[in-house]
Amino acid sequence: MKHVNRLLALAAFAIGGTAAFAQTTVPVVVGAPEKDIVISKHIYGHFSEHLGHCIYDGFWVNENLNVPKKDRIRLDIVDALKKIKIPNLRWPGGCFADEYHWRDGIGPRKQRPVMINTNWGNVTEDNSFGTHEFLELCSLLGTEPYITGNVGSGTVEEMSKWVEYLNFDGVSPVTGIRKQNGHEKPFNVSFWGVGNESWGCGGNMSPEFYASQFKRYATFCKNYPNAQLKKIASGPNVDDYRWTETLMKEVPSWLMWGLSLHYYTVPKDWGNKGSATQFDEKEYFTTMQKCLYMDELVTKHSAIMDKYDPKKHVSLVVDEWGIWTNVEPGTNGAFLYQQNSMRDALVAATTLNIFNNHADRVRMANLAQTINVLQALVLTDKEKMLLTPTYHVFDLYQVHQNAHQLKLHFASPDYSVGDQKIPAVNGSASQDSSGAIHISLVNLDASKKISISALLPANAGAKVSARVLTAAAFNSYNSFDEPNKVVPAAFSDFKKDGSQLAVTLPPISVVVLTIQ
C-alpha cells in the first residue's frame, strides 16, 4: 500500500503538484499484471430465454422472412454476435427453464407437442426451437452452450438423460435417439445450470432444501469422456447472503463449479420501473447508483465464499444482470421489450468493470438478454435489425477477454446530484498475450469532462490508440430510423509522455485505450 501511495503522489506531482490542480485531474496508477488472475472470457456471456421475441422472431424466424438465414436461424444477428466474440450463451431460461421438458423439443418438428409458456404471457410455443436448434446456433456463433436444467418441475432422471443424450459417445437408448435425430457424435456440453432462481420461480425453495436437491441432481449428471461438467448451482437473489452461506456450507466445492447471482438495476422500483428513454438527470443518477451496488454484492458474496472456499475453486456466476425498465408503450407487458440508451451502455460498461476487477472469483456472467428483451444487444422489427449502445460496449470491451488483470489505483472525484454522490469514474485494465495493455474508463458525470493522468508500467509500449462511446444525452438511443445515433468513434483526446498518459474523458462516456 505504501508503494501505491508513493506512486499516486508521484502521479499527482507529474500533473501539476498542487492540491487544487489534483482536484480536476485524477491520478491513476496502472499496476503490474496480477500473476494468476485472468479475466475469463466467460464474463462476457449472454442469455437467451424463451421470452417475448428473443428466440422466436429473434434468433429463430419465420422461413418466409426475407433475411439471410440457415434453416430458420437469422444470420445477420449471428454475424453481429460473432464480431464481439460472445463466449457462451445461456438457454432455455430463466424461469422458463423450470417448466421446459427437453424431450418435447427434439425429433421431427411437426411431431413435437406444443406447450404453454406460463411465465411469459401464456403464449403457445410449437417447440420448433429445441436442443438441436440451440446447439446449431451455438455452432454458428462459435460459442459455448450453457444449458439450464429443469429442477422445479422436472426430475433427476430427466436432467440426467439430457446430459447423456448430449454427451455420451456410446450405445444407450437416448444416444440412439440422438443419432436418429441427425447427430451421430456427442455435443460435449460442459456448462450446466442445476435449476434457476430456485428461491423463486424455480420452486420457492429454502436454501437448505435446494442444497439437498442440488446434490441429488449434480450426483446423477455424469461426466463423460470429453465433457467434464461445470455444474452451476442456483445462487442467491441480490443480497440474500444466507442463501450463499448455506450453499457454500452444505455443498462440497468439488461438486459445484459455480454459484449463480442475479441482480437487476431497476431505475425506480418494481411497481414502476421507469421509462427506458424518458428520464431526467435525477433518475439517471439513481440508476447509476443502483448499478454500482453490484460491487458491494460481489464483494460480500465473495467474502462468504472465501470463508468456505479460500482457494477459490467455486466461481461466482452472475448469470442474470442488466437494467430492467418498463416495456415500450404499446408492446406486450409480458414480453419485456425495452429500448436501450446511452444510460444502458454506461450500466453495461460499469458492471463489466466491476466483474473485471473481481476476476479472481467472478469467472462467468450473462447479460439479460440478447435480442428484444430487457437490456438487449440487438433489436429487430421484421427484416430490420439494429445494434444497441450496449452491444457497442461489448464490442469495445472484448479486448479484456482472457487477458491478465491489471489493478487500477485511483480515487475518483464525486458526481453529485442534490445531496447524493457517487464516484464519477470507474475503470478496469488488462494485459493480453501480446503484451498490449487495455484500459477501459467510464465517466458517469452528466456534464463534466474529467482529466486522467495515468502512470503506466515501465514496460508499457509506445503506441496508443483509443475508441469512445458517448452521446449528446444520457437518454440518446438508436432507433430503426436512426440506427447509428450512438456508435463508437475513434478517440484522440490523450497524450503520452514517457510512462505518463494524460486522457480527457467526455461526460457520459466509455473510453477504451490500448497501449502497445
- The secondary structure of residue 464, as a DSSP letter, is E
Q: What SS3 state is found at 491?
A: coil
Q: How far is CA 143 from CA 46, 140, 466, in A?
A: 10, 8, 27
Task: Report the candidate in 516, 403, 404 with the shortest Cα–Cα distance to residue 460.
Answer: 516
Active site residue 157: no
Q: How far is 199 from 215, CA to CA, in rounded Å? A: 16
Active site residue 34: no
3-class SS string, 53-109: CCCECCCECCCCCCCCEECCEEHHHHHHHHHCCCCEEEECCCHHHHHCCHHHHCCCH
Task: Report the candidate in 150, 120, 145 with the shortest Cα–Cα distance to residue 56.
Answer: 120
Give me the catalytic one of 49, 125, 197, 283.
Answer: 197
Full DSSP string of 334-403: GG-----BHHHHHHHHHHHHHHHHTTTTEEEEEEE-SBSSSS-SEEEETTEEEE-HHHHHHHHHGGGTTE
The residue behind cell 459455480 is: 258
Give me the catalytic one of 49, 125, 283, 320.
Answer: 320
Q: How far is 249 from 242, CA to CA, in rounded Å? A: 10
Contact 149, 217 (CB under 8 A): yes
Active site residues: 197, 320
